[in-house]
Amino acid sequence: MRPTLPAVLTAWAATRAVLLLCVLQILTLPGPVVTSDVEVIYQGWSEVLRTGVFPEDDVTWQYPPAAALPVLAPLLLPFLEYAPAFYTLVLLTDAVVLALLLRAGRGRGRSRAGAWLWVAGVPLLGPTVYARYDLMVTAVAVAALLCAVTRPRVAGALVAFGALLKVWPALLLAGAARGRGGRRMWGAAVLTGLGVTGAFALAMPNALNFLTAQRDRGVEVESLGALVFHIARHFGWEGRVELHYGSMEFLGPQVSTVADVSLLLSLVAFGWLLWWRVRAVEWTPTTCADAAFAALLLFTVTSRVISPQYMVWLVGVAAVCLTLESRRQRMPALLVLAATGVTLLEFPIFFGEVVTSEPLGVALLVLRNGLLVVAGLASCRALWHTTVTAPRPRAAGPTPGSTGAGTTPHDAPDPLLTR
């Protein structure tokens, strides 16, 4: 049965009310308090940024220059204290994403399934999702993907702006269409990126420090590579877990080797994406979103860091795929939804067990990261199948505005491209 609009809105309102109660600490979950990033770190950054400079000698500031905007945004609500203002803005951004997905889900060949995935996936992360600015970045990425087919220049500008908020939206260019539309998207992204970066670099010192901010990172305890050390600790590994670069990381013998392997796997993923673009023969309105989803999954599972808030990136891009009725991405999207629920268990509820490599904590990581690996492989397989090995046949018939005379199957438009 097709989900009704009132049901979607009611579910969104109910789940977001619970999230607000959690970040305001009226309701609490077991484990560490997740709001300290906003109440301490973000607010501290905002005080520095208000002086016209980026934080210097602060290893927790690892972000591109446009990240200053969401950090400073709560100042737009002077009648609220910093933290409540931040949560209010995230809530409003959440509502905007839902509106975009609902609007895009209308009509033939579209679905409200994406809106449902967003409604369900965001609260599965618990209060963490409202206590980080990643949902704001995801909103920009969702808007870019929904614009990619019909407004490539707008999409390109949004991709660049998103990348200057938190880098990963640059992956949305992986599926930019060939031809004029793709060139427009890339051109707008490059021009916007250079313009915004240049403006920040001229206006605020230290704008480009993020380029080298993470070179000395270890291996974050929730990443795929971290499983090596979670297991090794039970066999006498002499390393340790410390708060490092703003997250709990493994430090010690062989950590740099695992970090290098993670980087190598990311390069392999990049190479596969290039090979896919060379071999692809079919672009449809879903290809950009499908490729973005596959690329994001690949780079998430190969990263040295898989922080809980990263899951909202995947939920947002998966929601776009389902909105556009990308049928072969349904299973990867559902796997991401399941992994999001497991993420809430490993952080914050049982994070103590994760940090100390207790069997329960390790089992949760194996399950969550395993789901992401399977989702990544399934998404890549689906992308390859729909664009390389089994492209959709072109329908025979007259082109729009023609009389039908002399039209061949080769001349007929792809029905997916003329919706």
Residue 115 above 80 pLDDT?
yes
Find, among 336, 298, 302, the residue nearest to 316 by Cα. 336
Least confident of 203-217, 245-259, 326-340: 203-217
pLDDT tens for 274-295 read: 999 999 998 899 999 999 999 9
Structure tokens at 70: 């969401």
102-145-122 Cα angle (round to 5): 55
| Stronger pLDDT, 3 or 277, i.e. the higher one | 277
Quick one: pLDDT band at residue 418, thresholds 50, 70, 90? very low
Cβ neighbourhood burial of 331 (10 Å; 0-12, 13-18, 19+): middle
Using a pLDDT cut of 70, give the percent of the chain over it. 91
- CA dihedral for 309, 131, 159, 161, sign (positive or negative): negative
Least confident of 80-84, 157-161, 181-185, 387-391: 387-391
Phi, psi of 285 (to 5 degrees): -60, -15
Quick one: pLDDT band at residue 419, thresholds 50, 70, 90? very low
Instruction: Measure the CA–CA gap between 209 and 156, rounded to whole angstroms.
Output: 24
Structure tokens at 101: 């997905």
Give the predicted TM-score (pTM) of the model: 0.91
Find, among 147, 145, 95, the residue nearest to 118 by Cα. 95
Find, among 310, 294, 303, 306, the residue nearest to 365 by Cα. 306
Residue 409 above 60 pLDDT?
no
Find, among 135, 112, 94, the residue nearest to 308 by Cα. 135
Residue 103 above 50 pLDDT?
yes
Quick one: pLDDT band at residue 392, thresholds 50, 70, 90? low
Residue 272 above 90 pLDDT?
yes
Instruction: Measure the CA–CA gap between 395 and 22, rounded to whole angstroms.
Output: 52
Distances in Å between the alpha carbon of 188 and those of 176, 195, 284? Answer: 12, 10, 21
Structure confidence at residue 405 (pLDDT): 34
Chain-wide mean pLDDT for the chain?
90
